[in-house]
Amino acid sequence: MPKTAKKGFTYFRFETDHFYDPKVKKLKNKYGMEGWAVYHFIVNEIYRVEGCYMLMDSDALFDISDYSRMEEERISEIISFCAELGLFNKELWQKRQILTSTDIQELYVGICKTIHRKPSISPDICLYETEPERKDTPVSCNARPDVLPEKSSVQVPAETYSQTACRDIREQADIPRENKPHKIKEKEISSPTPPQTAGKNEEDFLSRELKYMGVPSAYISWISFLKGYYPELPVEKAIEDIKGSGYCLTTANYLLPLIDNYIAKYNAEYGRKDEERRQKKASCDRQRTLDLLGIPAKVQQEILQLGSIAPVVLDATLKETWGNKKIKSPTRFILSRMRQAVPA
């Protein structure tokens, strides 16, 4: 049987500044690394299977749920939030349950060019705008035309015509060689890789200026984090005030107290919600583990009730029980441990 052409890739490029993308920051702030893991798993599957998109049907949703041990409803919620942020195309997700984006398709086209594969994106899901082809540029330079141009008076041997034509076409049409990416930068030809946004440049400039002023790295990280929640955070104004005062104002007596106030504001507004979310997630994980261990529902209620008083003991007991073949009855073992830890 003939081999089926592979659509996906063995690997794909991962940007080092990915974690500083404002969209990714917002996703992490709302769902933690759990949300980022779901998003990155989907992106990995897009490039691995189809190359530029993924159909999120019931089977695909089940696979992600089974792999991550998360509820399918929560995974759908995370995907919808990714679409709202623009990490996936919102219209294709809501109408057709297809996950893709302009950035994903641009990187897909770039990889195809690198490995000399013809990109294949269905027109009904295509978000990538290709550059219009030049009419005066031949599409292929592998075949020799029947008649040479009239202006040329030099006879070119048949066996060398293909190589000469290829070189001339690239030089005349300013088409860079695909195996030399530095040509793109020299000739300023658009590439599939999107340029850095002004927002990232401004953020990098602000970080450098704060480091120059002697602001501790921990505060710089907090400033970058708080900007996602409080865009009005007046860091730039505080820097101008310090410079305008002739450094009578300093980072220690002016800028750092301002950041401390916003940290306290964040803890008051979001800290409790984050703690409640973490506790709820931990409780769901414990109950899921009890289900997998085959603990009856009635016994689970007692174990979880005792675990709310001694959560560390319950987590350690579940870890000890999981995969331990010496324990014949996980129900009796866990219940006995919890009753010993929390006497009546």
What is the model's pTM? 0.39
* Alpha carbon of residue 296 to chain centroid: 39
Q: Which of 3-17, 89-103, 128-142, 277-291 has the lowest mean pLDDT?
A: 128-142
Q: Which of 19-23, 203-207, 230-234, 256-260 has the lowest mean pLDDT?
A: 203-207
Q: Which of 79-88, 123-132, 217-226, 249-258 has the lowest mean pLDDT?
A: 123-132
Average pLDDT over residues 144-170: 44
CB within 8 Å of 108: residues ≥ 6 apart: 47, 51, 52, 119, 121, 128
Percent of the chain with pLDDT over 70: 76
Assess contact for 87 and 23: CB atoms under 8 A: yes
Q: What sign for the dihedral angle of Cα 37, 47, 83, 130? A: positive
State the pLDDT at residue 87: 94
Q: How confident is the model at residue 203 (pLDDT cuts 50, 70, 90)?
A: low
Assess contact for 47 and 12: CB atoms under 8 A: yes
**Which three-class secondary structure string do you get for the chain?**
CCCCCCCCCCCCCCCCCHHHCHHHHHHHHHHHHHHHHHHHHHHHHHHHHHCCCEECCHHHHHHHHHHHCCCHHHHHHHHHHHHHHCCCCHHHHHHHCEECCHHHHHHHHHHHHHCCCCCCCCCCCCCCCCCCCCCCCCCCCCCCCCCCCCCCCCCCCHHHHHHHHHHHHHHHHCCCCCCCCHHHHHHCCCCCCCCCCHHHHHHHHHHHHHHHCCCCHHHHHHHHHHHCCCCCCCHHHHHHHHHHCCCCCCHHHHHHHHHHHHHHHHHHHHHHHHHHHHHHHHHHHHHHHHHHCCCCHHHHHHHHHHHHHCHHHHHHHHHHHCCCCCCCCHHHHHHHHHHHHCCC
Q: Closest by alpha carbon to 52, among 131, 123, 155, 133? A: 123
Q: How far apart are CA 341 and CA 171, in angstroms?
A: 79
Q: What are φ and ψ of residue 247, in 5° steps?
A: 65, 25
**Structure-model confidence comparison of residues 274 and 338, the more confident one:** 338
State the pLDDT at residue 44: 92
State the pLDDT at residue 217: 85
Most confident of 14-23, 146-155, 330-339: 330-339
**Structure-model confidence comparison of residues 84 and 147, the more confident one:** 84
Q: Which of 67-71, 149-153, 267-271, 330-334 has the lowest mean pLDDT?
A: 149-153
Is pLDDT above 90 for 53? yes
Each residue of 292-333: pLDDT tens digit?
888 898 889 889 988 888 888 898 899 889 888 888 899 999
Each residue of 214-229: pLDDT tens digit?
888 888 888 888 888 8
Q: Closest by alpha carbon to 192, among 184, 200, 203? A: 184
Q: Which two tokens stand for residue 80?
A: 């919808």
